[in-house]
């Protein structure tokens, strides 16, 4: 029978939080030793011998069940870091989070799961969570909204990690009565926040009419952006420029998205 004896099973998951959480649910549903099961994102170029591959279809209900279990059984910081690791742009995350969850739910762990850095999966989760957390913090600091002709606030970002949901939650809390739109061009995702309502995510083209001039920058926005660029230029001291320090504090990849580094 499939999944017995020495055979291993690899569950192929979609690269999304819902996809990986569904994969964890399916791994437990197999009722096999967890060392016989692995999770991976996408298919490998070379298949392994004595291994069965199964594609996992993301299901919101199954993902939510896993989320509830983790929230009940894990410390709050562990729960937070696991989900930050799932946002990282790294194919190791599915297997690392799965094995960390297995160990955490085994009952062998006392205290914080992610404090046990001797475990390879735990170390990977901590590394990925830290990286995604740093990317989230930078997005919060470097994101720039522009006012469009229709009054919508629009921002373009290009993060390495899929932190758009956390970025949107941050600004929805601070701008609850604004209509705003954030586009992550790396992951092709839009976050849409209607004023006074819940925000949501969409993939693909949100602005279908390319001739729609209401999605052009307003004249007032252009005026203030020019003033801001002039201000940033006027306060710089040529003799004290330190380009190396600037690049450490503000990596070059963020600058195309920031008003102060854009030409008119």
Domains of the chain by residue range: 8-135, 143-261
Mean pLDDT, residues 115-139: 93
pLDDT band at 222 (very low <50, low <70, confident <90, very high): confident
- The pTM score is 0.81
Residue 218 is predicted with a pLDDT of 87
* Pairing verdict, β 200-203 and 189-193: antiparallel
pLDDT of 211 over the 70 cut: no
Nearest CA to 41 among 11, 82, 13, 9?
Answer: 13
Quote the CA–CA distance of 264 and 260 in Å, as a whole number: 10
CB 254 within 8 A of CB 261: no
What pLDDT score does 263 carry? Answer: 73
Coil, helix or strand at residue 53: strand
Q: Please, what is the Cα angle at 45 between 53 and 1, to 5 degrees?
A: 20
Specify the higher pLDDT residue, 232 or 73.
Answer: 73
Lowest mean pLDDT among 29-43, 54-68, 238-252: 238-252
What's the pLDDT score for residue 101?
95
Task: Please indicate whether residue 116 or residue 208 has the higher confidence score (pLDDT).
Answer: 116
Average pLDDT over residues 114-127: 90
Q: How many CA atoms lie within 13 A of 153 on its CB side?
A: 16
- pLDDT classification of 254: cutoffs 50, 70, 90: confident
Helix (H, G, I), strand (E, B) or coil at 59: coil
Q: Which of 32-41, 81-90, 147-156, 221-230 has the lowest mean pLDDT?
A: 221-230
Do 95 and 119 contact (CB within 8 A), yes or no? no
């Amino acid at each position: 029978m499939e999944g017995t004896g020495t055979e291993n099973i690899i569950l192929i998951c979609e690269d999304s939080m819902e996809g990986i959480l569904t994969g964890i649910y399916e791994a437990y549903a197999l009722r096999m030793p967890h060392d016989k099961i692995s999770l991976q994102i996408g298919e490998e170029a070379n298949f392994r011998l004595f291994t069965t591959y199964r594609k996992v279809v993301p299901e919101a209900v199954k993902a939510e069940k896993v989320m509830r279990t983790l929230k009940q059984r894990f410390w709050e910081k562990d729960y937070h870091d696991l989900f930050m690791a799932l946002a990282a742009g790294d194919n190791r995350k599915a297997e690392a989070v799965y094995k960390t969850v297995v160990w955490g739910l085994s009952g062998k762990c006392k205290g914080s799961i992610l404090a046990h850095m001797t475990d390879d999966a735990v170390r990977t989760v901590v590394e990925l969570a830290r990286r995604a957390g740093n990317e989230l913090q930078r997005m919060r600091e470097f994101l720039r909204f522009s006012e469009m002709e229709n009054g919508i606030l629009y921002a373009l970002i290009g993060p390495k990690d899929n932190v758009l949901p956390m970025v949107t939650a941050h600004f929805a809390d601070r701008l609850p009565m604004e209509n705003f739109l954030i586009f992550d061009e790396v992951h092709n995702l839009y976050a849409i926040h209607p004023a006074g309502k819940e925000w949501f995510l969409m993939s693909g083209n949100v602005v279908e009419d390319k001739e729609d001039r209401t999605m052009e920058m307003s004249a007032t926005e252009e005026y203030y952006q020019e003033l801001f660029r002039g201000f940033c230029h006027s306060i710089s001291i040529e003799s004290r420029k330190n380009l190396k320090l600037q690049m450490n504090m503000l990596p070059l990849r963020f600058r195309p998205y920031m008003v102060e580094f854009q030409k008119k």
